[in-house]
Chain A
Amino acid sequence: MIYIFVCYGFLLSAMMGLIASWVDRKLTARIQYRVGPPFFQPWFDLIKLSGKELLIPTTALRQVFLTAPVFGLASVILASTILWLNDLHASQSFVGDLIVVVYLLMIPSICIMIGGFASGNPLAGLGSSREMKLILSYELPFILAVLVPVIKSGYSLRLNDILAFQMQHGVMITSLSGFLAFLVCVLCIQAKLGLVPFDMPEAETEIVGGPLIEYSGICLAIFKLMKYMLLFVLPFFVIILFWGGWRLTGVHLWLGLLKYIIFILLVVVIRNTNPRVRVDQAMRFFWGTLTGLSSIAVLLAWIGK
């Protein structure tokens, strides 16, 4: 268990996340006629950041400010451990792990928000309030979309059952309801990752990085690592729910990798072909269009489509 926690939950996910973030940066650069960073740039960034001085503003709530990144990272590692558990020791997975993962994946955003409020900077406060509005808006369609595989697999809240169902009856994404829910999930994940068009909590040109404005040194490195890991864990979660998961044997290893790469490509393309929306527009979009779409998906799943 500890072995899975350290090796898969942390090291492998972190490595995948770092590579994904490099793919993201390099592709973005190529789309924009730039050269882009070398392969090890995310590693260098983290190493260099962790060696930098850690500044704590006098206005900050010291303990909250310092522990927020740690909690964020810990919850991502835990979520990824639970996800890997399905692949490695399916017998040890437990009923309701789906709910636990959904909860754990919400904590990083909340940690960023709390860290921002704790720093005492007005711009960080503004960014945190935007983050809060964003969490409120995307969680509803996200949870509704997650309900679709639950309903289809016969009301099972165990990820392993959902995987087993997909092994027998084909992957969720091929059905209409599954496809709709998958689309909703992709857009929600864009918001969870804080990428354009939903990067208004950090909006560099408006509020200078928002909640992260006062962070420096190792704390910023932890936040960055957390974001890189989310870039792996969130797509991994959605692939498990809708796309048959990622088994580490034979051809499935490469198929899983392909699914993941397609997912990352989707994220990068959305990110580079849109301007940032306002938070009220994002809210309207998530509560209107996407909630509508995911409700339709839930209904379709309920009648068996």
Chain B
Amino acid sequence: MGRTIVPIGPYHPLQEEPEFFKLTVEGETVVQIEVQVGYNHRGIEKLSEMKTFDQSTFAVERICGICSTSHPFAYTQAVEDIFPVEVPMRAKFIRVIIAETERIHSHLLWLGLAGHFLGYNTVFMWAWKLREEILDVMEILSGNRNNYAMFKPGGIRRDIKPEDIPGVLKKIDSIIPTLEMLKKAVMDDPVLHARTKNIGILKKEDAINFCAVGPTARASGVKRDVRKDSPYAAYDQFPWEMITCEAGDVFDKLVVRVLETFESIKMVKYCLNKLPDGPIDLNFKDIPPGEGIGHIEAPRGECFHYVRSDGTNRPARHKVRAPTFMNLPTYKATIIGQTISDATIILAGIDPCYCCTERMGVLDTKGNRIYSGADLLLLSQQKTENIRKQMGVK
């Protein structure tokens, strides 16, 4: 059978970001996939190295528009890790509140988009309508609907006023019935089952081999969640459940996200009710030389930041690894052999965020790519070899 190349991207209504999937198809079956990112490289790591430690928090907040808190969260933890300091408990709770509220909005956003990709625009609009309430909550808590600017190394920037809390709790409670209804509508719909069950299965061993993170891994039965594995902030202060499913298909990814939304609502409510008193900021001035890592569970999976300080007021090196970077290669396991109709929802199934993933792109002056994937691998192996030689390791 003849092979055709179906391009998805760089501009395609499927995804809001520029990225390119070259699907080689036989009839309607995908036999090969090639992913190209790099259309939206913004040099944030370099930018961050030119800013002070405080300013970098704002820079990394702009890495992702949807999970905009996860990057400052990981970054501040990395900075605090340089000279281990303990953040005040109130700040930890407020960090959890912000991060979990963001998870609710991010999962609702994904649920809506997944509906849209499947042609189910009613779910799209309903989920986004619910998300609107969460954005209002965010506005009450932080003053911003997106890019909350709540984090700073050593604590948080703004306190939550006690008089705001009842209103926020009421607003969160008000969305629960609609969310329950949406959950039922999504999880019991037979046509939706037909479209998402047994589609794009990521087997458990594949999920482990590809180092999948976040809901993508948890849907395949891999119990992997930074919040449980190495608790940070206040996640060890209260009980909560890690949601896992077994099958690893698109439906299970959906179920994991929907159930996590409910879990996050519980966490936010607990934290708001039990918010401890005390300072919210350590107010430290100087950051000694050293290096630190911070990793947190973003809505899409583990978000990892590495910061090295040389004693000045700027990070000497700042490295970011967004969760999509780890989830992207799972396409190799999930998409081959599926049809194009399913390919789109499988591509969307990992809740990808390509702009966050783009850390590097090497182009010549005419815009052509100089390095291919194989070249980069070779380069990386050579570098490792050099480091080994320098350190005298065999």
Contact = CB atoms under 8 A, between A and B. Distances in A.
Interface stretch (B82-90, B122-130, B241-249): B122-130
Nearest to B125: A32
Given A34-B125, A122-B5, A275 B340 contact: no
A206 B195 contact: no
Interface in A138-153: none
B12 interface: yes
B6 A123 contact: yes
A196 B120 CA distance: 8
B5 A206 contact: no
Contacts of B6: 122-123, 126, 207
Chain B interface residue number, banded: 20 to 34
Interface in B312-365: 339-344
Interface in B1-47: 4-7, 12-14, 28
Contact of B125 (A33, A122, A199, A208): A33
A208 B340 CA distance: 12
Given A33-B129, A205-B116, A273 B122 contact: yes
B129 A205 contact: no
**Which of B115, B121, B194, B339 has the most chain A CB within a 10 Å cutoff?**
B121
A275 B115 contact: yes
B125 A276 contact: no
A276 B13 contact: no
Given A122-B6, A123-B6, A205-B13, A276 B340 contact: no
Given A32-B125, A33-B125, A197-B119, A206 B191 contact: no
A32 B125 CA distance: 5
A200 interface: yes
B133 to A, nearest CB: 12
A259 to B, nearest CB: 26
Interface in B82-104: none
Chain A interface residue number, banded: 20 to 34
Contacts of B5: 122
Contacts of B28: 126, 279
Given A196-B120, A197-B191, A276-B119, A206 B125 contact: no
A258 interface: no
Contacts of A277: 191, 194-195
Interface string A209-242: 0000000000000000000000000000000000
**Which of B123, B194, B341 has the most chain A CB within a 10 Å cutoff?**
B341
A28 B341 CA distance: 24
A78 interface: no
Contacts of B14: 205-206
B117 interface: yes
B341 to A, nearest CB: 5
Given A32-B125, A126-B6, A275-B189, A205 B119 contact: yes
A278 B119 contact: no
Contact of A281 (B122, B125, B126, B194): B194
Contacts of B121: 28, 32, 196, 272
B192 interface: yes
B4 A33 contact: no
A122 B119 contact: no
List the 6 closest A-B pairs by CB distance, nearest first: A276-B119, A32-B125, A275-B120, A275-B118, A278-B341, A205-B117
Interface of B: 4-7, 12-14, 28, 115-126, 129, 189, 191-192, 194-195, 339-344
13 contacts: A28-B121, A31-B122, A126-B4, A199-B119, A205-B344, A273-B122, A274-B191, A275-B118, A277-B195, A278-B194, A278-B341, A279-B28, A281-B194
Given A203-B119, A272-B122, A274-B120, 8 more contacts: A28-B121, A126-B6, A196-B119, A196-B120, A199-B119, A205-B13, A206-B340, A208-B12
Interface of A: 28, 31-34, 122-123, 125-126, 196-197, 199-200, 203-208, 272-281
